[in-house]
Amino acid sequence: MTAHIVEAAAISSPSHPGEEAPLRTAAGIPISFRALPPPEGSSTGDVGPLRLHLEYWQLRLLRDFDQLLCLEGLTGVEHLPHQIETVRKVLRRFRGRVLLADEVGLGKTIEACLLLREYLLRRLAQRVLILVPTALVSQWREELATKFHLDFSTPPRTGVADGPDYWRNNDRVLTSMAFAKSRKRVEAVTEVPWDLVIVDEAHHCKNRATQNWRLVNALKRRHLFLLSATPVQNNLLELYNLLTLLEPGHLKTESDFKRQYVRRGNPRDPRNRERLRSLLGEVMVRNTRSLVQMDLPARYAQTILAQPQGEEAALYGLLDDYLRRRRAPLAEVGGVHPVNANGHEEETAADDEDDAVFSPPEKTALEPLGRRQLSSLLLAAGSHAGALAQSLENVAGNDPAARPLIDRARRIDRTAKDEHFLQLLRQGRGEKMLVFATFRRTLEHLQQLLRKEGVAFATYSGTESEREKDAAVAAFREQLPVMLCSETGGEGRNLQFANTLVNFDLPWNPMRIEQRVGRIHRIGQTRDVFIFNLCTAGSLEARILALLDEKIRMFELVVGEVGSILGNLQGGEEFESLVLDLWLRSHDDRDLEQSFDSLGQSLLSAQEEYLRTKRLDEALFGEEFQ
């Protein structure tokens, strides 16, 4: 027994198995012992099974920090050296309490997820709470599930999540900060202990007077990862507040901190910069582009508006009328979550705020359509007539009023977008082209279209086996000029040999658009990247593109910046949910245009805020903060 462990009680008679002895370390840490019951069952005279048991437990011990476990068995995650270095650093030096402050686009989320996986695999953590801005909940959930094979529970928007049982019974919870801090459930969230809490876009906790800061401070947690590319937005005290969440007292008291590190009259300008950086280095990791030498070539985007004619134009007009007739009041549809193109249920928008109510629809014999159905139909309409026909059949097949629409959609063979797409192919300059489409029907249509035109292509979608996918990528790389991709197609694959991307349709979530672009605009890409966005004039997609492209120049931003801008949007709603709300609230095109203008202004403000903060952080931390 080590001399540093003392028995608090006098030596007693031999203990019974499982009994806890009152032991303490020299610093008074209590040590309780628990012995599990002895093995039961029949015995064997064969050493083989016994050796297997022993080897099993030895293998479980092969888990030292030099050999990261999180990297094994990962699919679709392209981890970079600086990310691995960060994981090692946090495990060895930071003891699970760290501010991950990499510049935008360097993969803080990947780092946090790798760390999370490492902690889970090593059993350093079992109960995990992830708090993210509402706009990023679905992206986090999807990445955790598809890339890291981690299932997280998202609390239901019912009374169930207001009590402690939900939070106690679920070991892995992913939710928005807005949801968790709500007055009716904050007590339940903070009452139960967590092994690890991850806070994305942690600069939202910069102010101690806010509910965000108070929530994180009140959480019973063992480890804490704060993620923010811009930890200082206006004032150095914001950084102080964040680090106080991690290690209270690390930067002494607020007035000590101000006295030592904040220049009077300019709360953004630090004094004793070197000392401050050294202190920050103990609780913060910041990788910069110059440090990790990660600069990508430029990317250029072009939006191609297809003007529908004749039958097609009539179809969209009739569809708009039909959907507006069949939509339910916002208050009724608010509880139904929109669904994305992969059939995954998305988060709804506001957390606790009531949605506005607008005029009720005309009475019909049929049930009004919910958010999920409406967004599905609107997305399909933006994709292709074939996809729309199928979605209408699925959603409103029993409605006689929908029948003519379905028939009309089926009759349309070539759309205006098809023509533009073919034109793009012809002008393709011999470059390899990656073509994205959300709906399976649209992909099938594109396959037929290309066959008719005699263009060879590969297809990469969820329906192919792994072997077929490998073959498709190989064929695309070696010989074929076109690869058709579904939403998740090509994730984690090296497709940088292509530098042209066509969005045949567009997801409403800008993060998804960025994910598509990220397939070819990533480390290893040496040429400029060209993005062509096809959309039908007057469609919701066209309006979204106008917002993203014209207002914030989304396609010229660095990877990851869109997320930071969206995170600054007031109201904290998911972008696609905002879009649907705008459509639901509008009565006609003019209405809708005004609403989109206003959303554009919000986006611009969010971007300005992001840029201002970015400049400040660059000045504060420099290029080579480690």
DSSP 421-444: HHHHHHT-TT--EEEE-SSHHHHH
Which is nearer to another protein, 256 or 431 (by Cβ)? 256
Which is nearer to another protein, 38 or 343 (by Cβ)? 38
Q: How far apart are CA 330 and CA 539, in angstroms?
A: 21
* Token pair for 297: 């070539």
151 interacts with another protein by CB under 8 A: no
Contact mark string toward another protein, 58..97, x via CB under 8 A: xxxxxx---x-xxxxxxx-------------------x--
**8 Å CB contact between 303 and 296:** no
**8 Å CB contact between 173 and 153:** yes
Q: How far apart are CA 289 and CA 623, in angstroms?
A: 8
Site size toward another protein (CB under 8 A) is: 81
Alpha-carbon distances, residue 145 vs 151, 153, 195, 237 (angstroms): 5, 11, 20, 36
546 interacts with another protein by CB under 8 A: no
* Token pair for 365: 């014999």
Which residue, among 534, 538, 529, has the nearest Cα to 435 in the 3D structure?
534
Which is nearer to another protein, 239 or 446 (by Cβ)? 239
Which is nearer to another protein, 35 or 356 (by Cβ)? 35
2 interacts with another protein by CB under 8 A: yes
Contact mark string toward another protein, 110..149, x via CB under 8 A: -------x---xxxx------------------------x
Cβ at position 9, least distance to another protein in Å: 13
**Backbone phi, then psi, for 123, in 5-degree steps?**
60, 30
Diameter over CA atoms, the chain? 95
Which is nearer to another protein, 62 or 365 (by Cβ)? 62
**Strand 5-7 versus strand 23-25 pairing type:** antiparallel
Which is nearer to another protein, 245 or 333 (by Cβ)? 245
Which is nearer to another protein, 4 or 264 (by Cβ)? 4
Which is nearer to another protein, 61 or 365 (by Cβ)? 61
Which residue, among 494, 541, 547, has the nearest Cα to 521 in the 3D structure?
494
What is the side-by-side strand order in the sheet with 529-536? 299-306, 529-536, 500-503, 433-436, 482-485, 457-460
Cβ at position 75, least distance to another protein in Å: 6
52 interacts with another protein by CB under 8 A: yes
15 interacts with another protein by CB under 8 A: yes
209 interacts with another protein by CB under 8 A: no
* Token pair for 180: 């968790």
Instruction: Scan residues 243-272 and list those touching another protein (CB under 8 A).
Output: 247-250, 252-253, 255-256
Q: How far apart are CA 89 and CA 95, in angstroms?
A: 9
17 interacts with another protein by CB under 8 A: yes
Cβ at position 17, least distance to another protein in Å: 4
The stretch among 35-43, 337-345, 423-431, 494-502 that binds another protein (CB under 8 A) is 35-43
* Token pair for 76: 């679709």
Instruction: Scan residues 451-510 and list those touching another protein (CB under 8 A).
Output: 465-467, 470
Contact mark string toward another protein, 585..604, x via CB under 8 A: --------------------
